Structure 1
């Protein structure tokens, strides 16, 4: 069975991707499982550039089909921040709680209607030296006033989805995968893979 390498060390992200890809006829493995352990510097200025940088580095090291994603949160009131800096928003080594607390402090006293935000996920897939593609998924919502829910990771406890009247972290995993930026991007990726490969 052909390997499909996920270029991440984030266990929450890996678990989510594995759940969504269940049933595909390739073996989903992490970059560490194929011996790629170095940290890859994301020096791009867009989600697309960063996803491609990661995917290319891992492909170069292992020669297997590779998927990398770069995702983040864009808050309109903060001119699109934290954006591509979402994981580094509260400094190196900060926890999810640290990042969420920083976001809440920047939005202190900002009314709900001005807290519009979206999660963005760009996936880059490298199939060979010559062949690659990117896809982009988004989900719209608002930043809540306090963390709610224990499912998910990152900014999920603050990301309120009005249609469901709950945060991403309050959703069952299957519901979250259905509507999430990553779920949408992975489904687009699968459509592309089906066109290009026999999967």
Structure 2
């Protein structure tokens, strides 16, 4: 793996002066965890932090994909796997442009996550397990999904009637119920710097 994924390149602004931009070598941070664990919230906050540092990033989540590219898929086990496969393929395209992809998906199956990891070369896929107890996720329930699942309105709902297989060796574990979003973001940034994926800023 390269010591740093970022190169500083001077360019001229329209006014003729020099400006400094940061070009990134793309990779994907794959956030996995229960619904309500805070995956998308964390990805969005990290997105703003990275952009503030001049780094290009993009948040990719299930809601966004299912509004367009994956609207032909339902929530059967087969279609859920296909949903993740397409998310992986989109992530591959984006990182080729130098974008840091922040992919937030429950992705409960070890086999699906392994398949996605295999899509990427070494160092390009970073699995982030957003760990949060079920009772905490259920107490948050921002979309009311757990309540519907408890009533039987949503079949095969992860954590209630379908299993979530915890990652065995993720690159990073975030204990989302024990620290603030800001602290979680800083934990990720420290990891990226320590691994030499991102310069100290």
- Fold conserved between structures, TM > 0.5: no
TM range (shorter): 0.3 to 0.5
Q: Which has the larger radius of gyration?
A: 2
TM-score, normalised relative to structure 2: 0.35
| Structure that is richer in helix per residue | 1
TM-score, normalised relative to structure 1: 0.35
